[in-house]
Amino acid sequence: MLTGGSTVPGQELARRLGVSGRTLRRDVETLRDLGYAVEPVKGAGGGYRLGRGGALPPLVLDEEQVVAVVVALQTTSSALRGIEGAARRALSTIRQVVPRRLRLDADAFAVTALPNQWEFPAPAPETDLVRAVGAAVRQRVGLRLDYEGDDGSPASRVLEPHHLVVWAARWYLVAHDTGRGCWDVLRLDRVTRPEATGVPFAARELPGGPAALVQRTPDRGDRLAPWPCTGSAVLAVPAELVARFAPGGAVVRALDGARCELSMGAWSWIGLAGLFTTFGSPLSDVRPVELRQACALAARHLSAGAGGAVSPAP
């Protein structure tokens, strides 16, 4: 609207923006405070015009938005592979189009994102994979893909892709399997060869929403993370509840409506034993022997903390 250095009457700007004159004046002052060159012109035929440079950038951000974009661009490689170069170019573009004052804010948030060696280790999906699946979700068309099973062999599937969910640094596809007539959750890093079928589908109601479905689904394609110490035990807790609160990189297998097998890892055996105690359930079929020994040691420590007698170590 403000181009070529010409003056645009305030009433005309307010009308075209669909705001009141008071809101327009406040927004202009906000832009000026941020360093954007919008000059008020008083007198007959007055209004607003662009000052230095004669053009507004295509992107107008405030301080908080600049910080959010800059930090997100510098840490995005932890969520997606193959996007590092594009993120660097986008960050350079942001710096060029914002005023000097906001550029200083951007430069104040120089972040180096290092992957955590142990916490929630998960491979970031390829950018092209997310783009292909995300396009099918957005366009609401069927998706044909290969999905890697637990035995490592791929199986071809045709699904209705409804949502992409990122939880605990893991990407999930929430889809409806029309053949089985049910909702399904797939780990995106186990998907290969996604191809849109071009067949449209109608939106379906998902009770509780996609995030809740991912959290309460035990069979969501998770793999046991490569911790130094890994083990498993049977808990007298429903699988859906354990799936919601198990740490990233754990695997939950339903046994019946009241029991499940939980496999997970930690940096030490005693640490792993402590994780199992957080579910407040009796444990059975504890494996391997190192985890059973750590559970016995944890029991002695907890007993001492509760004021009970401490049995000698074996």
pLDDT at 266: 93
pLDDT at 304: 85
pLDDT at 308: 60
Q: What is the pTM of this model?
A: 0.72
Phi-psi region of 39 (alpha: psi -120 to 50; beta: other; left: phi over 0): beta
Question: Do residues 42 and 60 touch, judged by C-beta distance below 8 A?
Answer: no
Rounded to 5 degrees, φ, ψ at 45 are: 75, 15
pLDDT at 313: 47
Distances (CA, A) of 233 to 220, 257, 274, 302: 19, 16, 13, 19
Question: Do residues 53 and 37 touch, judged by C-beta distance below 8 A?
Answer: yes
Closest CA to 127 of 73, 166, 77, 80: 80
pLDDT at 83: 80
pLDDT at 262: 98
Q: Say which residues have a Cβ less than 8 Å from residue 196's Cβ, sequence separation at least 6.
A: 132, 135, 136, 139, 141, 142, 143, 144
Task: Report residue 111 CA to chain centroid gap.
Answer: 19
Per-residue pLDDT of the chain (314 residues; tens, 9 = 90+): 555 556 778 888 888 878 888 888 888 887 777 666 777 888 766 787 766 554 555 567 778 888 888 888 887 766 777 788 888 888 887 887 777 777 877 777 767 666 555 565 577 788 899 999 999 999 999 999 999 998 899 999 999 999 999 888 789 999 999 999 999 999 999 999 999 999 999 999 998 999 999 999 999 999 998 899 999 999 999 999 999 999 888 999 999 999 999 999 999 999 999 999 999 999 999 999 999 999 999 999 888 888 765 555 44
pLDDT at 259: 98
Instruction: Tell me 285's DSSP state.
Output: E
How many other C-beta atoms can be found within 10 angstroms of the C-beta atom of residue 122?
A: 19
Per DSSP, what are the bridge partners of residue 159?
143
